Structures are given as structure tokens and as C-alpha cells.
């Protein structure tokens, strides 16, 4: 039997309302005991001064395989996840070919099994070829193991199509993840539309491009049902509308990225038009950023997701207008939120675990994840709340370097990632 004891960490598990110092015994990949002190003979790791929590889950990453392996692949993405403290990652379907059928899903799952690093949950496309015309085979995809459907990267333009998709979502009990953007507003825009975009001479993407679609789709969900999750919301208006719908009992949820929580449109200027500030949706105003932070703390926003969007340095090293949208996030999300929210006590450690693990697990029905309950699988993240490091993308496990957080000094970093009882990465 394979046994491991993790000793003396502060164990935080909101699913059992645990926040105390103790030990954990892992046997054959399962958590078998959580207690104040475990006196048994087994390999023991001393975690005094560290914080131990259920494994973190990112519901929004782009690992680019198949088709764009020069940006990232399932292995490099998984390594980036482990270093970021993540034990599970959802991978989006906008690859080449697009993952819009069971064979594509099987490919991702088989590769993930071979790589054997983090748990990879494929998100399949909502429409064939992500063209917004023909539904994918919800039932067959669910049977193959997809956790959600999404055309992320592009919006669902046709409301009649989305209406059908929502009716199927309801029937198959399968969440739909929506990337909200009305292309007629965003057009050729590259940053938030406002006074700053005008002064910088860059075309803008107004907040209403997102808000009008959020409002439309809340209305569709209200009338036709389905399970709706709004990806990467960026504006106060989107948040207000979603919060109201949630309060009224609609089956909707939303996520926010670390960059929308910590940066504003101003960095486009501050970083001198660096294309590492270009992503979709764009960074918005201080008012938006602050509203999103409040929403994350008070529960109106369900959780944090990275929208890890790797691009090759050569693709980003062009004029602002021509660079692809997206930045990487897996290796910085935890220290960013720890340093800016947990350390200054804007957010409790328990809420941190909720938004990085428990809530995504519950929302997407990931059985046995997001918790440290006895007899569940031992997916565990350990954070050192005192570790200080400067973000250095050149040392990332990701193939990509496109982050606006280079040089940020942050306190609170993951130091150990355990998946299925196995230590897959550590830096102790």
C-alpha cells in the first residue's frame, strides 16, 4: 500500500468548514483521514507554516493541442498548471481541428492519460466548427465525458440557435459556457473603448459589446432554461445583470480572470502598447475592476478562471492591431490573488479555496473534487503564504511568455501540487 502523511499544515476546506492545523493521511491515492494528529508509520512530509487545501481547478484554459502546439500543448500546459498549483484544468475547444465531436474529446482524454500530470477536462464546442449554426451532439459528448460546452473565443451570435442550445442544455443537464461579445460593437477594436483608447489612437471595444449579450442571454435562459455560465466577465454592467438574475433564482453563474481583477486599461499606456495587455474581453476601467473585486468577495461572482491563452512570442511581437488576443495565467493566478486579496485581508483563505476549488467543482459536478472529505481522491494544493517571488515568465513551464505581470513581486506561492495522491510538482 502506498501511504503518505502530510503533517502540520493549516488545512482549509470550506466543504467541511475546516480551518485548523492538522495532518492528512493518503492511502493509494485517496484521502483516508484528516485529523489533529495522525500517529502512524508512513512517509511523512512536514508542512508547518504552509496552507493545505483541496486541489485548485481552472475552468478556462487554452492548451492549443491539437493544431497550435507551437503556442502550447497538453503537456506544457499541464506542467504550467502544476506549477501554478492547479490539479484540474478545463481545456477549451478552439483548437484545430475544433473539438466538436466525440473522437476529438477522446483524443484529448487519451493524451491526458498518457501525459499523466493534471486532470484535464475537455470542453467541447457548442456548435459544429464553432460556426454557430448546427448544434454538436450533446448526448454523445456528455457520454464521452465533457463537462461543459462552449464556443469560447467567439460569441454565439444567433439567439435562435442559443435558444435551442439552452433547451438541450436543460435536457442533458450540461452547462453552456458563453463568451459574450457582440461583434458588431467590438468590430476591429483592440482595447476598451473610452477616452484612453481615443487618446492612444487604438480602436475600442465598448463594455456594451459584452453587456448587451449578457442581458440577451439572461433573458433567453429565463425563458428557455438551461445552465448558463458566463466566461471572463469584464464589466460592472455585466456583473450587475448577472447578480440580479442569480438573486431571482436563475440557473446562471460567472467567472472573472485575475487580470480583470487587478489591471485596468491604463496598462496599455503604462506598458507602452505592449501586446501582453491585449486580450478579449479587454481590460476596462477602475470602476469595472473594483466592482469585479467586490463581486468576487461577496459571492456575486462564482469563481476565478485564468483564460490561459498562450501565443508564440513571434505572434505577439507585432503592432498592437495585429497581435492575437490573449495572455497566459496559470503560473501567476494564485500569487496574484493571494498577494492582492488574501494578504491584505480583503478575502479570507476559506473564500479563496471556495473560488479556486470548491465552487467550480460543485458547479460542474466534478465528483469528489473541491473537497478534502475522507474517501475522496487526494487532489491537494499547498501554498506557502510567506514565499516571495518576482514573476519571471522566462522561467515558466508554459511555452508562452505573454503576460503583463512580468516583474510583479508577489507574496503567497504554491509549493506543492498533489494529484491522485502523487506529488506531481514541488518547490519546497
Residues taking part in catalysis: 307
User: Among 305, 306, 294, which residue's Cα sits nearest to residue 236?
Assistant: 294
Q: Give the interface with Zn ion as residue ranges (CB under 5 A).
A: 152, 179
For 95, the grid coordinates are 483548437
CA–CA dist 209, 183 (Å, integer): 7
Shortest-Cβ-distance residue relative to ligand DOR: 326
Q: How far is the CB of 108 from ligand DOR (least distance, A)?
A: 16
**Residue 45 or 162 having the CB closest to Zn ion:** 162
Q: Give the interface with ligand DOR as residue ranges (CB under 6 A).
A: 62, 94, 152-153, 179, 279-280, 309, 325-326
CA–CA dist 345, 377 (Å, integer): 30
Residue 229 interface partner, choices Zn ion, ligand DOR, none, CB cut-off 5-8 Å depending on type? none
Residue 309 interface partner, choices ligand DOR, Zn ion, none, CB cut-off 5-8 Å depending on type? ligand DOR
**Residue 150 or 417 having the CB closest to ligand DOR:** 150
Residues 6+ apart with CB under 8 A from 355: 296, 301, 302, 303, 304
**Residue 142 or 229 having the CB closest to ligand DOR:** 229
Residue 253 interface partner, choices Zn ion, ligand DOR, none, CB cut-off 5-8 Å depending on type? none
Q: How far is the CB of 209 from ligand DOR (least distance, A)?
A: 13
Residue 279 interface partner, choices Zn ion, ligand DOR, none, CB cut-off 5-8 Å depending on type? ligand DOR
CA–CA dist 67, 85 (Å, integer): 26
Residue 325 interface partner, choices Zn ion, ligand DOR, none, CB cut-off 5-8 Å depending on type? ligand DOR
Q: In Å, how far from its chain's centre is CA 26?
A: 27
Cα dist from 109 to 113, 118, 259, whole Å: 6, 11, 29
Residues 6+ apart with CB under 8 A from 88: 55, 56, 57, 58, 118, 119, 120, 121, 366, 369, 379
Cα dist from 195 to 133, 199, 282, whole Å: 37, 6, 15
**Residue 88 or 234 having the CB closest to Zn ion:** 234
CA–CA dist 281, 126 (Å, integer): 20
Q: How far is the CB of 329 from ligand DOR (least distance, A)?
A: 10
Q: How far is the CB of 246 from ligand DOR (least distance, A)?
A: 23
**For residue 322, which phi and psi values (nearest 5 degrees)?**
-95, -10
**Residue 179 or 192 having the CB closest to Zn ion:** 179
Q: How far is the CB of 352 from ligand DOR (least distance, A)?
A: 25
Shortest-Cβ-distance residue relative to Zn ion: 179
Amino acid at each position: 500500500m502506498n501511504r503518505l502523511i502530510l503533517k502540520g499544515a493549516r488545512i482549509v476546506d470550506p466543504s467541511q468548514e475546516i480551518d485548523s492545523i492538522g495532518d492528512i493521511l493518503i492511502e493509494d491515492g485517496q484521502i483516508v483521514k484528516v485529523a489533529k494528529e495522525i500517529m502512524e508509520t508512513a512517509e511523512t512530509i512536514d508542512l508547518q507554516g504552509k496552507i493545505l487545501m483541496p486541489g485548485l481547478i481552472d475552468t478556462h484554459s487554452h492548451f492549443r493541442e491539437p493544431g497550435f502546439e507551437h503556442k502550447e500543448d497538453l503537456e506544457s500546459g499541464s506542467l504550467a498548471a502544476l506549477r501554478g498549483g492547479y490539479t484540474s484544468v478545463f481545456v477549451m475547444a478552439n483548437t484545430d481541428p475544433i473539438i466538436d465531436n466525440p473522437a476529438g474529446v477522446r483524443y484529448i482524454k487519451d493524451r491526458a492519460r498518457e501525459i499523466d500530470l493534471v486532470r484535464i477536462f475537455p470542453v467541447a464546442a457548442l456548435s459544429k466548427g464553432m460556426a454557430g449554426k448546427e448544434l454538436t451532439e450533446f448526448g454523445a459528448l456528455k457520454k464521452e465525458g465533457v463537462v461543459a460546452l462552449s464556443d469560447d473565443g467567439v460569441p454565439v451570435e444567433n439567439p435562435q440557435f442559443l435558444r435551442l442550445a439552452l433547451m438541450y442544455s436543460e435536457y442533458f443537464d450540461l452547462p453552456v459556457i458563453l463568451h459574450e461579445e457582440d461583434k458588431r460593437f467590438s468590430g476591429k477594436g483592440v482595447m476598451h473603448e473610452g477616452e484612453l483608447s481615443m487618446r492612444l489612437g487604438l480602436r475600442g471595444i465598448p463594455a456594451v459589446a459584452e453587456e448587451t449579450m449578457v442581458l440577451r442571454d439572461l433573458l433567453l435562459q429565463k425563458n428557455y432554461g438551461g445552465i448558463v455560465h458566463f466566461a471572463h466577465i469584464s464589466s460592472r454592467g455585466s456583473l450587475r445583470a448577472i447578480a440580479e438574475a442569480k438573486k431571482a433564482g436563475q440557473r446562471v453563474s460567472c467567472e472573472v480572470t485575475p487580470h480583470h481583477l487587478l489591471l485596468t486599461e491604463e496598462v496599455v499606456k503604462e506598458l507602452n502598447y505592449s501586446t501582453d495587455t491585449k486580450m478579449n474581453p479587454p481590460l476596462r476601467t477602475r470602476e469595472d475592476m473594483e466592482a469585479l473585486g467586490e463581486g468576487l468577495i461577496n459571492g456575486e461572482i462564482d469563481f476565478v478562471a485564468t483564460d490561459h491563452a498562450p501565443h508564440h512570442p513571434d505572434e505577439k511581437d507585432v503592432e498592437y492591431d495585429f497581435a492575437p488576443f490573449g495572455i497566459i495565467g496559470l503560473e501567476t493566478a494564485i500569487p496574484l490573488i493571494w498577494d492582492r486579496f488574501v494578504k491584505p485581508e480583503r478575502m479570507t483563505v476559506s473564500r479563496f479555496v471556495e473560488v479556486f476549488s470548491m465552487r467550480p467543482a460543485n458547479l460542474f459536478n466534478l465528483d469528489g473534487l473541491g473537497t478534502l472529505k475522507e474517501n475522496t481522491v487526494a487532489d491537494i494544493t499547498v501554498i506557502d503564504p510567506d514565499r516571495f517571488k518576482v514573476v519571471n515568465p522566462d522561467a515558466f513551464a508554459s511555452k508562452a511568455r505573454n503576460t503583463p505581470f512580468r516583474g510583479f513581486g508577489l507574496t503567497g506561492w504554491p509549493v506543492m501540487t498533489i494529484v491522485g495522491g502523487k506529488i506531481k510538482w514541488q518547490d519546497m
